[in-house]
Amino acid sequence: MMKKGEYSLSQQNNRREFCQGFKDGIPIGLGYFAVSFSLGILAKKAGLNPFQSFLASLLCNASAGEYAAFSLIMVQASYLEVAIITLIANARYLLMSCALSQKFKQGTSLVHRMIVGYDVTDEIFAISVSRDCFLNPNYTYGAIAIAAPCWATGTALGCLAGNVLPLRLVSALSVALYGMFLAIIIPPARKSKVVAGIIVICFVLSYLASILPVVSDISSGTRTIILTVGISAVAAWLFPRENQEVSDES
Amino acid sequence: MNHNIYIYILIMAGVSYAIRVLPLTLIRKQIKNQFVQSFLYYVPYVTLAVMTFPAITEATQSPIAGGVALVVGIIAAWFGASLFQVAVSCCGVVFLLELFL
More confident site: A4 or A58? A58
Query: Does residue A61 belong to the interface with chain B, where contact is any CB pair within 8 Å?
Result: yes
Query: Does residue A20 belong to the interface with chain B, where contact is any CB pair within 8 Å?
Result: no
List, as ranges, residues 34-53 from B with C-beta within 8 Å of A. Answer: 34-53
Kindly provide the b/e burial profile for residues A56-79, where b requires at least 16 CB atoms within 10 angstroms of the residue's own CB: bbbbbbbbbbbbbbbbbbbeebee
Query: Does residue A101 belong to the interface with chain B, where contact is any CB pair within 8 Å?
Result: yes
Band (A248; pLDDT cuts 50, 70, 90): very low
ipTM field = 0.86
Selecting from B7, B80, B95 the residue whose C-beta is nearest the C-beta of A169 gives B95
Give the largest Cα separation in chain A, rounded.
64
Chain A residues near residue B28 by CB distance under 8 angstroms: 101
Q: What is the mean pLDDT of residues A73-101?
A: 85
Distance CA A125, CA A118 (A): 11
pLDDT (tens digit, 9 = 90+) per residue, B53-88? 998 998 888 999 999 999 999 999 999 998 778 888
Is pLDDT at A249 greater than 70 in this prediction? no
Q: Is B94 exposed, middle or buried (0-12, 13-18, 19+ CB in 10 A)?
A: buried
Band (A238; pLDDT cuts 50, 70, 90): very high
- At A202 the pLDDT is 97
Query: Does residue A126 belong to the interface with chain B, where contact is any CB pair within 8 Å?
Result: no
- At A55 the pLDDT is 94
Selecting from B19, B39, B90 the residue whose C-beta is nearest the C-beta of A179 gives B90
A55, A64, A13, A73: which is closest to A152 by C-alpha?
A: A55
Q: Looking at the 3D structure of chain B, how many domains does it have?
A: 1
Q: How far is CA A176 from the centre of its chain?
A: 14
Total CB pairs under 8 A between chain A and B: 301
Distance CA A206, CA A110 (A): 41
Range of the domain at B95: 5-100
Chain A residues near residue B84 by CB distance under 8 angstroms: 27, 30-31, 34
Asked if residue A36 lies in contact with residue A57, where contact means CB atoms within 8 angstroms, the answer is yes
Query: Does residue A218 belong to the interface with chain B, where contact is any CB pair within 8 Å?
Result: no
Is pLDDT at B37 greater than 50 in this prediction? yes
Q: What is the mean pLDDT of chain A?
A: 85
Q: Name the residue in chain A with its Cα closest to that of B92.
A: A172
- Give how far A34 is from chain B: nearest CA, Å: 8
**Cβ distance of B98 and A86 shorter than 8 Å:** no
**Residues ≥6 apart with Cβ < 8 Å to A149:** A29
**According to the 3-state scheme, what is the secondary structure of B13-57?**
HHHHHHHHHHHHHHCCCCCCCHHHHHHHHHHHHHHHHHHHCCHHH
pLDDT (tens digit, 9 = 90+) per residue, A98-143? 778 878 887 888 899 999 999 998 778 877 877 778 889 999 999 9
**Cβ distance of A202 and B5 shorter than 8 Å:** no
- At A3 the pLDDT is 65
Q: Give the pTM.
A: 0.72
Distance CA A200, CA A192 (A): 13
Chain B residues near residue A207 by CB distance under 8 angstroms: 53-54
Distance CA A49, CA A242 (A): 46
- Give how far A180 is from chain B: nearest CA, Å: 5
Chain A residues near residue B66 by CB distance under 8 angstroms: 175
